[in-house]
């Protein structure tokens, strides 16, 4: 088949499935989050973080980073959602191997370019470069964003996970030390949210901002 046809088949028949696969599949959710939406936010956050690090003199390969954000969950086209706890548990090794085969299987439809994408996927998954660390960190931030959103919609099932993740955030400080104050502010923000801090709630509710906009004119 021609390269164009393969690209089109990849796009319409495989990759687009990421908008139909929803994360956190064993938790009662009010606004399920697709892998596509998650991938967008991970890539967007990694752009923000990279620009922040660059402004502090750190060298980051932003292009590689954004491409890794695009690709980091691509294996789910084949496997669907598997909850994180399973992937971190006793069967991590087997599940990692399965994911690698799925990522490779799906990307090989794209020929030699697919091999390069697979290398980026693998780098994002194994996590030793700075860029891989940033992806891992943004993956975690997006969990927190999602938990705040669900909590704010009223769903109490994710409050404990939110607290758990917020309190674990400091583990990223030795990994990404230049982000120390960002990480501390973020932890603080999440914990203040959980405690019902009125300033945080006001910011999230945003009605104020909407009316600021009106007043601006």
Question: Which of 102/129 has CB closer to a second copy?
Answer: 102
Q: Which residues 179-208 are close enough to bind a second copy by CB under 8 A?
A: 181-182, 185-186, 189, 201-208
CB of 5 to a second copy, least distance (A): 6
Determine the Cα–Cα distance for residues 161 and 44; give it in Å rounded to an integer.
23
152 binds a second copy (CB under 8 A): yes
The alpha carbon dihedral of 6, 46, 27, 84 has a sign of positive
60 binds a second copy (CB under 8 A): no
* Residue from the set 53, 60, 77, 135 that interacts with a second copy by CB under 8 A: 77
28 binds a second copy (CB under 8 A): yes
For 88-112, the DSSP string reads HSTTHHHHHHHHHHHHHHHHGGGHH
Strand partners, 86: none
The alpha carbon dihedral of 137, 141, 46, 39 has a sign of positive
136 binds a second copy (CB under 8 A): no
33 binds a second copy (CB under 8 A): yes
119 binds a second copy (CB under 8 A): no
156 binds a second copy (CB under 8 A): yes
Determine the Cα–Cα distance for residues 142 and 24; give it in Å rounded to an integer.
12
* Residue from the set 115, 119, 164, 171 that interacts with a second copy by CB under 8 A: 164
Minimal CA–CA distance to 179: which of 127, 124, 140? 140
* Residue from the set 60, 67, 123, 172 that interacts with a second copy by CB under 8 A: 67
- Residue 46 contacts residue 150 (beta carbons within 8 Å): no
């Amino acid at each position: 088949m021609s390269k164009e046809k393969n690209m089109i088949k990849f796009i319409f028949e495989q990759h687009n499935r990421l908008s139909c696969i929803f994360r956190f599949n064993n938790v009662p959710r009010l606004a399920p989050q697709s892998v596509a939406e998650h991938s967008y936010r991970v890539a967007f956050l990694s752009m923000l973080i990279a620009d922040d690090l660059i402004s502090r003199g750190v060298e980051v390969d932003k292009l590689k980073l954004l491409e890794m954000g695009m690709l980091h969950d691509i294996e789910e086209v084949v496997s669907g959602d598997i909850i994180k706890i399973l992937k971190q548990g006793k069967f991590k090794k087997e599940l990692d191997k399965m994911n690698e085969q799925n990522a490779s299987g799906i990307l090989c439809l794209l020929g030699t370019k697919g091999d390069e994408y697979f290398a980026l996927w693998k780098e994002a998954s194994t996590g030793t470069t700075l860029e891989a660390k940033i992806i891992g960190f943004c993956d975690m931030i997006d969990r927190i964003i999602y938990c705040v959103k669900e909590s704010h919609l009223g769903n109490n099932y994710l409050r404990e996970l939110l607290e758990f993740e917020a309190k674990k955030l400091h583990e990223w400080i030795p990994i990404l030390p230049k982000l120390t104050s960002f990480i501390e502010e973020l932890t603080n923000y999440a914990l203040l949210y959980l405690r019902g801090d009125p300033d945080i709630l006001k910011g999230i509710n945003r009605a104020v901002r909407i009316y600021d906009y009106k007043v601006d004119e």
